[in-house]
Structure 1
Amino acid sequence: MVFKRLLGSLGVGGPEVDTVLDTDAVLPGGALTGQVHMKGGGADFAVEHITLELVARVEAEHDGGESDGTVVFERFTVGGNFRLAEDERLSIPFSVVLPWETPVTELHGQPLGIALGVRTEVSVAGARDKGDLDQLSVRPLPVQEAVLEALGQLGFGFRSADLEYGHIRGTGQQLPFYQEIELTPSAQYAHQVNEIEVTFLADPGGMEVVLEADKRGGLFSGGHDAVTRFTVSHYDVGQVNWYAEVDGWMRQLIEHRAAYGSHGPHASYGHGDAYHGGGHHGHGGHHHDEGHGQRSGPGMGTVIAAGAAGLAVGVVGGMVAAEVVDEVGDFFEGDEEEGDEG
């Protein structure tokens, strides 16, 4: 086992650590399991705590433009208050639960360009040091995958994905940032829209889907953004005709020209209304109203299977894949030089 040098402030002979995750990819709201392997140094050391930090590379907009920074969005203490003897080898298992809003980093195994990591912090003999980052891969929840696959089947293509620092007004957002998945419009809407941005805000009962369209300007009017928000449930995912549902969302988003201040129905399924506790009423430019979508019969499974490659093809098509791999690699190589935010 190759240990990564830790606690450089203690010099030669300090303890070493290596954190190993059990699985290649996890789900938002799911368990992240693994082990922290420690190797004692040239003397006995008192280990005060072992903490795992979930970190993300996030873009922040400000007056000077945009900049990237590393944000810690969750911390878990997984051990501590023990003595590590000279040259002793010790393994500490852990199981922690990811936040439901943890961003998705891959679709059908293809990277989206989102850089997430697990960083191990160990406090020994009064010195606190952060180890190297381990890459964290997160695959979509079933309801997220259903929406993305429906978008692919409808002809929308993957353009890019990023994490934006800030809060979307009128939503139940918990993390200090949100994920935007940018899509190229289908042929049906290409003359009306430059791009579509999709944000998922999941919680234990369901998920808010925030859609934003960057509309093209007409001869006598400038372009503008339209925003709508829909609430869906984790339950009965296989019973919903997602192709028809998402198609309806897109028609509402794009064809309702007076998007700011106009009203349209949410799509609510199963426990969709209950889980949010009346939080449907948003603020600002977000679309909000009470309503119910109609359930459709089963049978989407075969359609989803047939069109599952929809957005994934766009992910691996051309330069996108190479660019996102480079960007994620830069994040892990350069993390130690970056300051933390949040």
Structure 2
Amino acid sequence: MAFRKFLSSLGVGAPEVETTLSASAVRPGDQLHCNVQLQGGSVDIEVERVRIEIVTRFEDREETETLWGNPGVVKSLVLGEKFELKAGETKDGQVTFEVPWETPLTHILGGRPLKGARVAVRTELTVDNAVDRGDFDEIQVHALPAQDALLQAYANLGFRFDEAEVKKGTPSGGRNSQTDYWQEIEMWFPADYRRQGGQLETVFVARHDSLDLITGPHGPYPFSYSNIDVQAWTAWLDQHLRATFQR
């Protein structure tokens, strides 16, 4: 169970917020159930809004590769607006997230962490126009079976994974994307592709029944979840990459 408790920035005797998640690891398309408990402080207050969000690390918003302080929003839901929280009173609220299909991945190939990839659930409390975003409840977002199959195909061909970055906008070839961000998974070409020191950026645009693969500036190439075949996909990927990137 993921768990968070923080004091708001309203001063001594301020309210407390405690968020409990139904799971600490999900896949795109899963449901994530959240319970938010507000505990009143020493005085009655008017709460303007309680918002709960799935957030991710945006590469271009942070000063270093490890900083995690200014995330971008993947999905946001308002749990409550304009209500009174009396001194010492406890209020509970529940919300269920449909984890978006294009949520950035943090773990691949059966649980391997992706360098640079972070996703969290954040609770936001607004009182007197002051917003307290507290800490993050980090969660793991594991690859879908089709994503893992394609990533295994890369590994079978000798590609080495470097890091993942989330960027604002729409990638080249991402015409089927439903978001205003994309995740690049960066990997090193194997030596037999004769691209010494070269990197390839791969993007997935996932849906409920299929995904698009984008390789650098090329794609999208559709893959169905109903016909996952690592051996066949490895052969296709090798042929495609050699024809597209081989020097």
TM-score of the superposed pair, with normalisation by structure 1: 0.61
Distance apart, 1:122 and its partner CA: 1.6
Aligned pair 1:232/2:223, yes or no? yes
What SS does the aligned partner of 1:35 have? strand
Alignment of 1:22-37 (within 5 A): 22-37=22-37
Alignment of 1:1-342 (within 5 A): 3-6=5-8, 8=9, 10-60=10-60, 70-107=71-108, 108-113=110-115, 114-124=117-127, 127-171=130-174, 172-191=176-195, 194-212=198-216, 227-237=218-228, 241-256=229-244
Q: Following superposition, which runs of at least 4 residues in structure 1 exceed 6 angstroms of deviation?
A: none
What SS does the aligned partner of 1:76 have? strand
In structure 2, distance between residues paired with 1:59 and 1:83: 38
Which amino acid counterpart does residue 150 of structure 1 have in structure 2? A
Which amino acid counterpart does residue 193 of structure 2 have in structure 1? Y
Cα contact 1:154–1:247 (8 A) shared by 2: no
Which amino acid counterpart does residue 224 of structure 2 have in structure 1? S
Which amino acid counterpart does residue 98 of structure 2 have in structure 1? V
Q: Please list every run of 5 or more consecutive structure 1 residues that lacks an aligned counterpart in the other structure.
A: 213-225, 260-342
In structure 1, distance between residues paired with 2:131 and 2:196: 54
In structure 1, distance between residues paired with 2:54 and 2:4: 22
In structure 2, distance between residues paired with 1:180 and 1:169: 11
What SS does the aligned partner of 1:136 have? strand
Distance apart, 1:71 and its partner CA: 1.9
Which amino acid counterpart does residue 222 of structure 2 have in structure 1? T
Cα contact 2:156–2:234 (8 A) shared by 1: no
Distance apart, 1:100 and its partner CA: 1.2
In structure 1, distance between residues paired with 2:197 and 2:233: 20
Distance apart, 1:183 and its partner CA: 1.6
Which amino acid counterpart does residue 248 of structure 1 have in structure 2? W
What SS does the aligned partner of 1:4 have? strand
Q: Measured at CA, do residues 36 and 230 of structure 1 come closer, stay the same or move farther in structure 2, by a change above 3 Å?
A: same
Larger Rg: 1
**Relative to total residues, which structure has the larger helix share, 1 or 2?**
1
Distance apart, 1:209 and its partner CA: 0.5
In structure 2, distance between residues paired with 1:74 and 1:160: 23
Which amino acid counterpart does residue 92 of structure 1 have in structure 2? G
In structure 2, distance between residues paired with 1:119 and 1:183: 30
Which amino acid counterpart does residue 177 of structure 2 have in structure 1? Q
Distance apart, 1:193 and its partner CA: 7.6
In structure 2, distance between residues paired with 1:4 and 1:24: 19
Which amino acid counterpart does residue 103 of structure 1 have in structure 2? P
Q: CA RMSD in A?
A: 2.8
Q: Measured at CA, do residues 188 and 115 of structure 1 come closer, stay the same or move farther in structure 2, by a change above 3 Å?
A: same
Q: Measured at CA, do residues 21 and 190 of structure 1 come closer, stay the same or move farther in structure 2, by a change above 3 Å?
A: farther
TM-score of the superposed pair, with normalisation by structure 2: 0.82
What SS does the aligned partner of 1:148 have? helix
Give the count of matched residue pairs. Answer: 236
Deviation per CA, 1:265-285, whole angstroms, max 9, x where unpaired?
xxxxxxxxxxxxxxxxxxxxx
Cα contact 1:192–1:254 (8 A) shared by 2: no
Cα contact 2:56–2:74 (8 A) shared by 1: yes
Between 166-175 and 132-141, report the one with greater CA deviation.
166-175
Deviation per CA, 1:280-319, whole angstroms, max 9, x where unpaired?
xxxxxxxxxxxxxxxxxxxxxxxxxxxxxxxxxxxxxxxx
Q: Measured at CA, do residues 43 and 211 of structure 1 come closer, stay the same or move farther in structure 2, by a change above 3 Å?
A: same
